Amino acid sequence: MVLTKEAIQAVKLTKRFRRCYDAQEVDILLDEIGEAAEEQCRELEHLRSVRMEYNQMKNQISEALLAAQQTAKEMLEQTRNKCNEELGAMQQRRTTLQQEISGLERYKVLELEKIRKDLERLLSDPESDEAAQEAAASK
């Protein structure tokens, strides 16, 4: 028997001796009501236990989620810092390489100019070529 208002109202007891109910029927009904009340109390305790476990799990999940969010935030910040450091190093390396390239281009221009002058000199004065060769040989 489930203890509800409708279930209790549906109980029909036999009346005996001037509007008195049969004692045996009343005892049986009280036993059934007592058993139903005990069952509902057990169910209520079980539900309270389940609710407590649910609340504990909910709290654990909330804490884990907060910890995960904090970890993700820290990891993102670390990654951002590392990327910024690497970007700075790359920009510095780029500047250094650009300076090296500029220096090599100046050197190339100077060397080409030297070669051009040497070629002009060699092509314009054949005697100086012989003199240069003799001077180089005597050294």
Residue with tokens 């004692």: 23
> For residue range 73-95, what is the model confidence (pLDDT) as tens digits?
999 999 999 999 999 999 999 99
Q: Is the pLDDT of residue 132 over 70?
A: no
- pTM, two decimals, is 0.50
Sign of dihedral through CA atoms 107, 109, 115, 117? negative
SS3 content of the chain, % helix, strand, coil (to 5): 85, 5, 10
pLDDT given at position 51: 97
Question: Does 137 score more than 80 pLDDT?
Answer: no
**93 to each of 5, 30, 86, 88, 96, how far by Cα in Å?**
85, 92, 10, 9, 5
Contacts of 37 (CB under 8 A, 6+ apart): 3
Is-contact 21 15, C-beta < 8 A? yes
